[in-house]
Amino acid sequence: MRYGCKGTRTSWRTGKQSIPVSVPIAYNALPTAAVKGKTVGRLAICPKCRTVGSLVYTSRWVQRGSRWPGLGGIEDRQTPVPLCRCKGCGKSFRILPVEIAPFKSYTRQVIETACAIYVAADRPTESLRQTVVRMGKGHPHPSAVHGWLGGLGARALGRLDRGKQLLPVAALITESDTRLRGDVLAGWTQPQPVSTCKYRSAQRHERLEACARLFNAAQRLFPQRAYPWCAWEYWLQVHFHVTAWGFPSRFACTAIQHHGPRGAGVPCGPSNRERKRRTKGKAHGARAPP
């Protein structure tokens, strides 16, 4: 495989772009579902021509790098995923299971773990570095978690509803409130506590609060699941047939805002107040020959 333009991948055999398509299916079920000639889904939409139900599986699989939670850390894997083809426009696309988010190497479980820990109300002094170190070997960089929080917070606030081919957040919340629990919409409007040491601007505060609201809503909807936000994404993909909580990894947001200076300082020696002897212009005699 070789990379083409940004956000796509080009096959070295056909030279055609392979845009990822998210389907509501777990990775362990992909080998059984990806049968050549079988439709991806009756309501699956082609990302190129927007035709409904025209995607069918091919016999080809490609390697997709991804990072999964493991024992004592994060595991870096080369995950094989199947290719599908649109019967309308003839374009090829990668089929991504629900665990793998489009254009991201870390799986949704890793993203959920890092972001949920950082915005948890019972961890008011948790820093970005402490959050990722807690995840063990192979953890993401603190700047990656900072970008996830900014992008996911903007998505939860509805800032990405226009121009990104994403479903409005209001539709996701209303559908979940109607079909799952009746208190999701009421809880979505409640303020969430965010520690003051984790932000220095109003913009960062509202995005962290939106992330806390998102994970708390997922916990209320799927309290028995180990990864409630991932379970919510799966449920939404089943009903809407597109990625629900998609967000950019490097959203244009505030820079990393470090904690304020501590009270203890480093002592330094007293300055020397004596006047130095003037040596500029002083004659030192003739120089010795070289």
> pLDDT at position 2, please?
31
Are residues 118 and 82 located together in one domain of the fold?
no
Does a structural domain hold residue 261?
A: no
pLDDT digits (tens, 9 = 90+) for 8-28: 443 333 334 446 777 788 888
Average pLDDT over residues 257-270: 56
Q: Is residue 277 one of the residues assigned to a domain?
A: no
Cα–Cα distance, 56 to 180 (Å, whole number) = 31
Q: Do 121 and 235 share a domain, yes or no? A: yes
What residue type is 59 in one-letter code?
S
Distance of CA 53 to the CA centre of its chain: 28
- For the stretch 113-130, pLDDT in tens is 999 999 999 999 999 999
Place of tokens 């190497």: 105
Q: Which of 39, 71, 96 is the last residue of a domain?
A: 96
**pLDDT-derived band at 142, boundaries 50, 70, 90:** very high
The domain of 36 spans 2-96
Q: Domain check: are 23 and 119 in the same one?
A: no
Residue 263: inside a domain, yes or no? no
| Number of domains the chain contains | 2
Same-domain pairing of 50 and 134: no
144 and 47 in a common domain: no
Q: How far apart are the first and last CA of the chain?
A: 67
DSSP structure string for the chain: -EE-STT-EE-TTT--BEEEEE-S--GGGHHHH--TT-BS-TT-B-TTT--BT-EEEEEEEEEEEEEEEETTEEEEEEEEEEEEEETTT--EEEEEPTTSPTT-SB-HHHHHHHHHHHT-TT-TT--HHHHHHTT-BTPPPHHHHHHHHHHHHHHHTTTTSSSS----HHHHHHHHHHHT-TTHHHHHTS-----GGG-SSHHHHHHHHHHHHHHHHHHHH-TTSSSHHHHHHHHHHHHHSS-SS---TT-S-PPP-PPPPPS-----PPPP-SPPPP-TT----PPPP-
Measured in degrees and rounded to the nearest 5, phi and psi for residue 168 equal -60, 145
| Inside any domain, residue 188 | yes
Model pLDDT for residues 38-72, shown as the tens digit of each residue: 999 888 888 888 888 899 999 999 999 999 999 88
pLDDT in tens, 187-226: 898 899 999 999 989 999 999 999 999 999 999 999 999 9
Q: Report the pLDDT value the prediction gives residue 279, as an integer from 0 to 100.
A: 63
What is the pLDDT at residue 9?
A: 42
% the chain with pLDDT above 90? 51
Q: β-pairing, 18-22 with 92-96? A: parallel
Residue 280 lies in a domain: no
Percent of the chain beyond pLDDT 70? 79
